Structure 1
Amino acid sequence: MGVNFKMVAITLQGLEEVLSNELKQLGAQDVKAGVRMVEFVGDEGFMYKANLYLRTAIRILKPIIKFKVKNEDDLYKNLLKIRWEKYLDVRGTFATKGTNQFSGITSNTHYLALKTKDAIADYFKAKYDARPDVDIKHPDLKVNVHIDRYGFCTVSLDSSGDSLHKRGYRMNTNLAPINEVLAAGLVLLSGYTGEQNFIDPMCGSATILIEAAMVACNIPANINRKEFAFEKWKDYDENLFFAIQDSLIKKIRDPQCKIMGFDKAPSAVRKANENIASANLEEFIGVHHINFFNSKKEVFGPTTILFNPPYGERLKLDDIEGFYKSIGDTLKHNYHNSTAWFITSDIEALKHVGLRTSRRIAIKNSDLDCKFVKYDIYEGSKKASKNDY
């Protein structure tokens, strides 16, 4: 076992508890959820595993120091005290990112990143009479500086690099594609484990379908990623990384259910199939050129329906109320013995579905305040009353 240290997993607002559960199931210690983040403890191998496996993490940060600051000069002086050669070679490359909630320092995140860059460059210049280069796209080291509202500054190394929502499988998208981390979060929030059939009746470019299939097959979320930032770190253990990757691959299983998607647009079906092929999931997911409103449940047994229908801000619809009424009518008449979930920012339109919600979860989709709603569909599903809203 390696030495344990604290890490922070960044996530989307509304997915903190889902990510906490993922971390606990993966074996993390001291898991504590915050706002858009979850703290946890693990060793180097667990950091590799977290990046490879977690479905609802955007990035994994490794804090290296925390100190109190009063102003910009204070920040600069404290950054100069860090022994940067432990993490970066003088001939290497680096990038910086800053976030700030403290009133004593300018809230401009670009300024904070520049201040951090200057301190690192000046440290090397003073010690080695040479400076590492800045590389925004593929740095050897990505440094994250966060100052909270009380003036405590945490300096972290970003172990992920590009956001972990960039799984590596999505080749083509339609208008308003859903973020992969959000799609995975919705699948996990719905309680789907792969033991039921799964349908996305408005599947677009198949992101929700792919994330659901990866849950059903226990495929690590980022198995298709080309690189992680930690692979360029000075202490990167390649043998350990591949051993952990192999152990995760051995736990992949065949799903015991049908996973399928519909879309009324031939172009969407084509893009969906291209993305599914890119994710190597063709044998597990079927996509059909079908208008959901003309469809009915044709699979036997309990079924989870999960979709991201168009709503006002995402895609324009001429008759949003009629559209949502058709969703409710189709579910009620044609999808008995199913659990239906969908996400929307159009709370008014929800009233026209005409079914009673059994759960409503607040969640963000980009900068939109949304509701993720659940309908239990059985024969004689109850009509909603005004009190249900």
Structure 2
Amino acid sequence: MTKNFKMVAKTLYGLEELLAQELRQLGASNIEIGTRNVSFEGDTGFMYKVNLCCRTAIKVLKPITAFNIFTEEDLYKKIYAIPWEHYMEADGSLAVDSTVYSEKFTHSQYISLKTKDAIVDRFRDKEGERPDVDLDHPTLRINVHIDRNICTVSLDSSGASLHKRGYKVENTLAPINEVLAAGIIMLTGWSGQCDFMDPMCGSGTIATEAAMIACNIPPNLNRDEFGFETWPDFDVDLYEVIENAALKKIKDFHFKIYASDKDAFALRKAKANIKSANLSEFIEVKEQDFFESKKETERSMFIVFNPPYDERLSLDDIEAFYGSIGNTLKRGYPGTQAWMITSNMEALKRVGLRPSRRIKLYNGKLESKLVRYDMYEGSKKAKKN
């Protein structure tokens, strides 16, 4: 039986509680919530499971050592002393990512370079050959985290960021990150209990993540590779057991997901991505201007969307656009719970509806709000009575 060890899963700001909840449900122990990360314990099979099944994790790191450093020479010597030959072959390749929160060490790229030099020098001194650097598909991806004088060195079990699910074959101009899309849906409380709609769907990310949540499909099932697959101790049989167990938990979904947009070019991309994810039977895609639409069913519905912020996608009159969002929801969508994320706080005021919830998130580097509007059948007063 393999021993449990500590791991750290990185996430986006505001999704830490969701990630801890996911880890708990998967069976993690000793869960501790940090800022943009959650630490936990599990064995090798659990590490595989988290990478495959966690919707809100961006990276899953396996710390191998931590030490104090006070100079660049300290860093070099202590990285050099790590037995890297246990983790990769001399003819392999490596990539180093660094994050730095320190007054003494301020340049993350320099820390990455110094780390790489120490590893390469150790291999050259001990084995007469050295690994290459490969930033895209390395044999081993290493993470160096410096907090003041404490340096933690971890192996990156994920490889490329876990938001790269593997289903996206087409992108629009301002696509939403897949981890953020999944996190937003989970924050709304929707898990497949009614119809779902994204009326400004772009490349279809929100609708695709919603379908995977409703059917309990592992979010990273379509990925080509994880970082741990090139590790010397990768157990392919164990991974297949984990994957098969996750596949057995996929369930059917008895409502409908609607993805619409007025941009025919974006819709072609959405259809391609949804088809790539094998989810076409669950998602109805149609060309439609939200402002000329109305709810076409008596059933209750969640609306979740990411309208333009006037940042990457610009609009002639952003405030009038947001005013139309409010008018359309009031006029055409009774009996719905509507959620939207935006970084444009001035435009948000023009929606003309009072949000019942506001949650702070970041979309990339933009501080944003996820807001909820409850659109009642009839008047709000009648609903309360």
Q: What TM-score do you get using the length of structure 2 for normalisation?
A: 0.96
What's the secondary structure of 1:372's corresponding residue? strand
Deviation at 1:314, TM superposition (A): 2.8
Once residues 153 and 379 of structure 2 are traced to their aligned partners in structure 1, the CA distance between those partners, rounded to angstroms, is: 53
The residue aligned with 1:158 is 156
The residue aligned with 2:233 is 235
Deviation at 1:123, TM superposition (A): 1.4
Q: Name structure 1 gaps, 5 residues minimum.
A: 384-389
Q: Is the 8 A contact 1:90 1:131 kept in 2?
A: yes
Indicate whether 1:10 and 2:35 are aligned: no
The residue aligned with 2:134 is 135
Once residues 345 and 377 of structure 1 are traced to their aligned partners in structure 2, the CA distance between those partners, rounded to angstroms, is: 22
The residue aligned with 2:313 is 315
Cα deviations by residue, 1:1-58 (Å, 9 ceiling, x for unpaired)? 4210011111111211111111111111111111111111111001101111111111
Q: What TM-score do you get using the length of structure 1 for normalisation?
A: 0.95
What's the secondary structure of 1:62's corresponding residue? strand
The residue aligned with 1:261 is 259
Q: Is the 8 A contact 1:355 1:382 kept in 2?
A: no
The residue aligned with 2:55 is 55
Deviation at 1:130, TM superposition (A): 2.2
Deviation at 1:91, TM superposition (A): 2.1
Once residues 348 and 207 of structure 1 are traced to their aligned partners in structure 2, the CA distance between those partners, rounded to angstroms, is: 26
Indicate whether 1:108 and 2:107 are aligned: yes
Deviation at 1:77, TM superposition (A): 1.2
Once residues 276 and 111 of structure 1 are traced to their aligned partners in structure 2, the CA distance between those partners, rounded to angstroms, is: 41
What's the secondary structure of 2:331's corresponding residue? helix
Deviation at 1:381, TM superposition (A): 5.0
Indicate whether 1:168 and 2:166 are aligned: yes
The sequence identity of aligned pairs, in percent, is 57
For 2:310, the aligned partner's letter is: G
Alpha-carbon RMSD across the aligned residues, in angstroms, is 1.3
The residue aligned with 2:189 is 191
The residue aligned with 2:343 is 345
Once residues 68 and 94 of structure 1 are traced to their aligned partners in structure 2, the CA distance between those partners, rounded to angstroms, is: 24
After superposing the two structures, state which structure 1 stretch, 39-48 or 74-83, moved more: 74-83
The residue aligned with 1:387 is none
| 1:37-76 matches, cutoff 5 A | 37-76=37-76
What's the secondary structure of 1:288's corresponding residue? strand
| 1:285-300 matches, cutoff 5 A | 285-300=283-298
The residue aligned with 1:121 is 120
Q: Name structure 2 gaps, 5 residues minimum.
A: none
Q: 1:33 to 1:363 in 2, by over 3 A?
A: same
The residue aligned with 1:21 is 21
After superposing the two structures, state which structure 1 stretch, 173-182 or 223-232, moved more: 173-182
Once residues 136 and 288 of structure 2 are traced to their aligned partners in structure 1, the CA distance between those partners, rounded to angstroms, is: 41
Q: 2:375 aligns with which of 369, 374, 377?
A: 377
The residue aligned with 1:251 is 249
Cα deviations by residue, 1:163-204 (Å, 9 ceiling, x for unpaired)? 111111111122211111111111111111111110001111
Once residues 63 and 38 of structure 1 are traced to their aligned partners in structure 2, the CA distance between those partners, rounded to angstroms, is: 13
The residue aligned with 1:386 is none
Deviation at 1:239, TM superposition (A): 0.1
Equivalent pairs, count = 381
Q: 2:303 aligns with which of 299, 305, 324?
A: 305
For 1:4, the aligned partner's letter is: N
Q: 1:276 aligns with which of 274, 277, 290?
A: 274
